[in-house]
């Protein structure tokens, strides 16, 4: 039997999958996800909204426009690539 080789996995950006979630719940989950990402020092992540009728994507985009922890974002079809504000190491 061959010994298992452990490989280091590349760090992956966090993903928030909102497919099948209504817009109200999606916004609550988005707030929690951004807060966790900020506290962990994550620089970016992906929010998957899916295709559907676009209600979740629209609501999430509006929220990202004004959220205090979002430095910017771009659309990639049914996904949004979100840049999270860097955490100040002095605080």
Domains along the sequence of the chain with CATH? 15-84 (3.30.1370.110)
Separation CA 75–CA 49 (nearest Å): 11
Residue 23 vs residues 10, 18, 44, 55: alpha-carbon distances, Å? 32, 9, 22, 6
Mean pLDDT score across all residues of the chain? 87
Taking 80 as the threshold, does the pLDDT of residue 5 lie above it?
A: no
pLDDT for position 52: 87
Query: What is the tens place of the pLDDT at every residue in 61-87?
Result: 999 999 999 999 999 999 999 999 987
Query: What is the tens place of the pLDDT at every residue in 17-44?
Result: 999 999 999 999 999 999 999 999 999 9
What integer is the mean pLDDT of 1-14?
Answer: 56
Taking 90 as the threshold, does the pLDDT of residue 12 lie above it?
A: no
């Amino acid at each position: 039997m061959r010994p298992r080789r452990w490989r280091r996995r590349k760090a992956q950006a966090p993903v928030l999958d909102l497919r099948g979630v209504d817009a109200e719940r999606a916004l609550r989950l988005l707030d929690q996800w951004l807060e966790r990402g900020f506290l962990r020092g994550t620089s970016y992540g992906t929010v998957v909204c899916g295709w559907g009728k676009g209600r979740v994507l629209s609501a999430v985009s509006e929220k990202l426009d004004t959220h205090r922890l979002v430095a910017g974002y771009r659309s990639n079809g049914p996904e949004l690539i979100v840049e999270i504000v860097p955490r100040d190491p002095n605080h």
